[in-house]
Each structure stands twice: as structure tokens, then as C-alpha cells.
Amino acid sequence: MQKRGRFITFEGIDGAGKSTHIAGTAELLRQHGHSVVCTREPGGTPLGEKLRELLLHERMHLETEALLMFAARREHLAEVIEPALARGEWVVCDRFSDATYAYQGGGRGLDKTKFEALEQWVHGHLHPDLTFLFDLAPAIAGERIAAQGRDLDKFEQERADFHARVREAYLERAAAAPQRICVIDAGQSVEAIKAQVQGTIANRYL
């Protein structure tokens, strides 16, 4: 039987700067001979990308938002993540269920026991092997987003206190799962962050 691939996720408040490091991680893994699938949530499948468009731009009941996040995730697992891992490929994913706990739980204030039930239903058997949490003060993240000068989505338009609650919820999850979640100080230089992310992966797996 082929060895299952690894599942690595990247998390953090909007503007924390994960994107560059996701691409760099995929490159590092490929250099070591692994096949890598790079994907994102919400999204990652044709249906998931349609749900993403709604989730990022349409006003909806807050529980509808949480349920659609998990619906998109169910599709993503079935169509992309599980088949890739079963083929022995590595999956590098921009956000996963930790984001629902942080945004819909911390940010929106929904009861996390509901997510625990949904998580059990949707992926009780499968969790990320390693998660990088890019931690940054919301004020700095907000400045970075503003400097990009583009239209903001529904979450990016939320006030600073929303992002502060998202950050706190992420840090609580990291404290509860220190083996899986590696907290990165996203205020460091790109080079320092790259060294920490890639060093962690190399130490564990390469």
C-alpha cells in the first residue's frame, strides 16, 4: 500500500502574509521529490469556488456562513484532499477548519460545540498533520491590506475588534494543540519566517 501523504495547513488573520510561504513550502517539498497539491479554503473545487464567491461577498445569516464553510470543506475533502493524500501526495492548504473556529467562532461569536459536531461529521477521521499559524497584530495586518489598494471582501471589511477576536481564538487553538500548530511571528522579515517554516518542515519530515 502506498504511504499516505502529509496534510499541511496555513492560518492567520487577513493580511498576516501566508501566501508567499505557501508557495515556498510547495517548492521545498517538490525539491525533495514529493508531489504537492496546493489548494485553499473556502474553495479548491469548482463548487467550492462558487461557494467562496458567496461567502466572501454576500450577506447571510451567520450560521448559514458557518454551514457553507463546512459544505465547501466536505466537497474539497472528497474531490481533492483525500484522493491526493491517498495517492501519496502532500496537500498544502491555505486555511482549513481552524479558520472556522477562529472566524465564525471567535469573530462571529458562534458556539464552537456546533463546529465540533460538524467537524466530526465532515472530517472526524482526518486532521492536518501540521499547521502554521501566522500571528500578527490586527493593526499591522490592516495596514498591509490597505497598502494593497484593492477592494476588500466581507471579512476584510470587518472592524479591528473582529480581527482581534479571530486572533485570540487562533492563539487559543494553538495553545490547546501545540504539537500540531506552530505559531509564527508574522511581524518578522520574510526571510526569517521562511527559515522558521521550512526549518520546521525539514526537521519533522525531510
Q: Of 1-60, which residues contact ligand TYD (CB under 6 A)?
A: 14, 40-42, 56
Local structure of residue 44 (DSSP, 8 states): S
* Chosen residue from 39, 45, 100, 131 binding ligand TYD by CB under 6 A: 100
Judged by CB under 6 A, which stretch of 26-34, 98-106, 134-142, 170-178 contacts ligand TYD? 98-106
Q: How far is the CB of 179 from ligand TYD (least distance, A)?
A: 22
Q: Which long-range contacts (CB under 8 A, 24 or more apart) does 154-160 make?
A: 154/55, 154/56, 154/57, 154/58, 154/59, 155/14, 155/56, 155/103, 155/107, 156/14, 156/15, 158/107
Based on the shown chain and the rule CB under 6 A, indicate whether residue 103 belongs to the binding site for ligand TYD.
yes
The owner of cell 473545487 is 45
Based on the shown chain and the rule CB under 6 A, indicate whether residue 75 belongs to the binding site for ligand TYD.
no
Q: How far is the CB of 162 from ligand TYD (least distance, A)?
A: 10
Distance of CA 101 to the CA centre of its chain: 11
Distance of CA 81 to the CA centre of its chain: 14
- Residues near ligand TYD, by CB under 6 A: 14, 40-42, 56, 69, 94-95, 99-100, 103-104, 155
